[in-house]
Amino acid sequence: MAPTAVTPGQAFAPRKLHAYIDEAGVRSRSKSSSDHFVMSAFVVEESHLPAATQFLAGLRSDLGRRPNDTLHWVAIRQHEQRVHAAKSLGAQEWATLSSVVACKRHLSTQITDSQFYLYTLRYLLERLSWFARDSGSTLSYTLAHITRPQMTLPELRQYEAALQQMPTSIAWSSLDPKGGQIEQPSRVELLQCADLTASAIFRAFEPDNYKNTERRYLQELAPRLYRRGRGAITSYGMKLHPSDASTKAAYPWVAAL
């Protein structure tokens, strides 16, 4: 998704981008919880929303689902269907993906589950705002409804206001001043693309019961990851948290995406 060229003297109206955000993994940091927590954004320009809707309709058909079915990764059980879903999404040139992968066993900070979720969201909002800023756009974002504990819209507004008082790297002028929204994937269907993205990336990091991971899903998505010039993929499209030497050593393959 390249920045729009503007000729000298031409009136400039910022493009409108929409980011749809979902998560995979468990926020809890108990010994029995998942080792990773992934929060991913599926970003599309407003003019490409019809193409995104058409893509989902085609994917439902490919997977043998009914036209109005909600696509959930966990309900796509066959490996070949998951590969197809990831490969199909990775081929959509109008889409951009950005994710934060929290490697929980490498974290030393003691915070609550809710704080952990919000901290991950902050990192993702930073990257989304950079993408919007660099492309001369304004970005709105929608979070998939979460439970245990539930995030309410007033709580999101309170956190956004707190973030604006913190020394973050968020380019607030490139985000919709109205703030984010919270919706159900059954009501805002492009959240389903965020679910597919987060879950596919989660499977590249999180071992199954046999200690195996599946990187192919992520490799198929890799063409759509947010890349900023020669900047490291781990700074933009695939941030690992924490960003220290031990984490980078544990996942050396990420930098080669």
Long-range contacts of 175-178 (CB under 8 A, 24+ apart): 175/125, 175/128, 175/129, 175/132, 175/138, 175/139, 175/140, 175/141, 176/138, 176/139, 176/140, 176/141, 178/140
Q: Which residue has the higher pLDDT, 223 or 14?
A: 223
pLDDT in tens, 107-140: 877 777 788 889 999 999 999 999 999 999 999 9
Per-residue pLDDT at 147 exceeds 80: no
Q: What is the mean pLDDT of the chain?
A: 92
The pLDDT, as a whole number, for residue 6 is 47
Residue type, 222: A
The CA angle 145-75-73, to the nearest 5 degrees, is 60
**Average pLDDT of the segment spanning 11-36:** 87
**Average pLDDT of the segment spanning 212-222:** 97
Name, in order, each residue with C-beta under 8 angstroms of 253's C-beta and a sequence gap of 6 or more: 215
Q: Tokens in use for 6?
A: 């503007």
Q: Which residue has the higher pLDDT, 6 or 61?
A: 61
Eight-class DSSP state of 235: G
The pLDDT, as a whole number, for residue 230 is 85
Task: List the domains of the chain with CATH numbers.
Answer: 15-256 (3.30.420.10)
Per-residue pLDDT at 38 exceeds 60: yes
Give CA–CA dist 196/99, Å, rounded: 12
The pLDDT, as a whole number, for residue 162 is 96
Q: How far is CA 171 from the centre of its chain?
A: 18
Q: How confident is the model at residue 9 (pLDDT cuts 50, 70, 90)?
A: very low
pLDDT in tens, 181-191: 999 999 999 99
Query: What predicted TM-score, i.e. pTM, was given to this entire model?
Result: 0.93
